Structures are given as C-alpha cells and as structure tokens.
Amino acid sequence: MSEPKTADRGVMLITGGSRGIGAATSRLAAQRGWTVAMLFRDREDDAKRLVAEIEAAGGRALAIRADIADESAIVRAFEQADALGRLTALVNNAGISGGVSRVEAIDAARLDEVLAINVRAPFLCAREAIRRMSTRHGGQGGAIVNVGSGASQLGSAGVWVHYAATKGAIDTMTIGLAKEVAGEGIRVNTVRPGIIDTEIHAARPPGQLEQMAKTVPMGRIGTADEIARSIVWLADGRESSYVTAALLDARGGF
C-alpha cells in the first residue's frame, strides 16, 4: 500500500537515482511530494522506466544523464534540475566500490576513479546545492543527505579499504559542512548503510555476502527501501528539523 502524497516539497536531486538505494529513494521521495531529479550515468532504460513508474503513481520525476566524475556535467545537471522548481534536498547517493582488492594490488587509476565518484563528486554537488539553498545566497534552506557506509568504521580489510577510506572522508565532510552551513538554513547528515541487497556487492567473492549476513545481529541483510526511509526522514525538515551533523547507522547492529 503506497503512502499518501503530500503537498509539493520542492525538488530533490539524487545522484545515482535510478537503481538500488537511489531508486528506492526516488520512489519514496516522489510519494512524499518531492519532484525528483534523478542523475544516472548508464542504463538509460532503467532510468526511463523509473520515471514512468513515478509519473504513473502521480509523482513528478526527471532523469538526467550525468557523469559526476566530470565537474561540468554536475553543473549542467543542476541547471537542468533548476527548471523543475526550487531545490530543497540533495542526496549524494552515487558511489562505486572500485572492486575487491587488497591495498598492495590497487593502482592509481582505480584509486582516482573511486575518489572522483565517492569524494570529489559529493563535494561538488554540495557546492551547487549550497549555492541554491543557502540563505547566505538568497535561498530558503534545505537538506543534504550523504550516503556513507558502515565500511568507514569497519575498514573493509582484505576487500576494499580504498572504498572504506572514501566513506570515511564523507563522514568528516558531513560533520564539517553541517557546522559550516547550520546558520544558513541547511542541514547536512549521513546515512551509513551496512550490508544491503544491492549491486555493489556483486564483486565480492562467492559466498562471502552470505557469510557476512550471519554476523549481523539482526540476522539478515538490509533492503534498499529500509535505507531510503532513513534518507527521506533526514531530508524532511518537518521530521528531522533539529538533526544535523548526524552519522546515522542503518546496519542491523553490525
């Protein structure tokens, strides 16, 4: 049973918004009254299907192709989203693992790619959002929600320390940026998922995900919809109005 749609909430821009956690967030945000601008890089058919699904349910959505490793593509994407209305929320969701690798086997090219998508892009997207939302720049406030990872606390030894390190950077960014713009009407928070049933785990060795699931105190891996509910709650200024600089763990106690 879908939730009732509320009044217009403005525009929520979601990077990596057409699949996994991003797609679940796009659906829920549209149900809650946001116009969704979902950024995607590949698999245009998936993005178009999701837009059609949202519109069929009475929501508004626009799929925007953008390689967020490219600063100019980020700027263009935000400009396209401007046509939809006032930006009130940014969800920095897009991320890549860089594949399974011990540190001694990683090369500079792969490390640069992971840093570009997982660290540099969220900073640049936050910059564009602040320029639109900050009262210092004539805006009316808003929220930035970063999608981090429990890996920032666990380190992911033997799997992807490189990925975990980028998520540690997002934790630090969240705390510092939240304090920087708290007086300008912008709240900044991070959701740190644990083991979630999404494609990012496809690169893990066979059987490893199942073994990891057994170590979760709640006894199971999480779903994209569960993480989406945490993201949308943090984005909603009515529900989480006094929450900023928070690192919200959503990992079943893991």
Tens-place pLDDT, residues 164-201: 999 999 999 999 999 999 999 999 999 999 988 876 65
17-30 residue pLDDT tens: 999 999 999 999 99
Domains parsed from the chain with CATH numbers: 11-250 (3.40.50.720)
Annotated active-site residue in 81, 163, 167, 227: 163
Residue among 88, 52, 92 nearest 190 (CA): 92
C-alpha distances (whole Å) from 150 to each of 154, 166, 225 are 6, 12, 17
State the helix-helix crossing angle for 161-181 and 121-133, rounded to 10 degrees: 20
Residue 242 is a catalytic residue: no
